[in-house]
Amino acid sequence: MPGKNNNGITITKGWKGYAGALGCIALGVYLVLMGEKVAGAQLIFLGLALLGIRHKLDYNSK
């Protein structure tokens, strides 16, 4: 957007990064419990990866 500073990745800052990752993990656990083991495991690993990326971005910016 013109006139707006878009430096860095802003979607993962604050509580949104944690909420999205925890939502993926929670949905993955639900799917595993409902019998969708492959899709559930993929969502769990995606959530863990998002938490790792969010952690890395947060601590590299300090």
Tell me if 2 is assigned to some domain.
no
Domain count, the chain: 1
Q: List average pLDDT for each run of 10 residues in the chain, which is 62 residues long.
A: 54 70 94 96 94 79 64
For residue 10, is it within any domain? no
Q: Are 47 and 23 in contact (CB under 8 A)?
A: yes
pTM equals: 0.70
What's the confidence (pLDDT) of residue 46?
Answer: 94
Look at residue 24 in the predicted model and tell me its pLDDT: 93
pLDDT at 26: 95
- Flag whether 54 is in a domain: yes
Domain hosting 25: range is: 18-60
Identify whether 25 is part of a domain. yes
Gap between the Cα atoms of 37 and 47, Å rounded = 15
Q: What pLDDT, on the 0 to 100 scale, is given for residue 40? A: 96
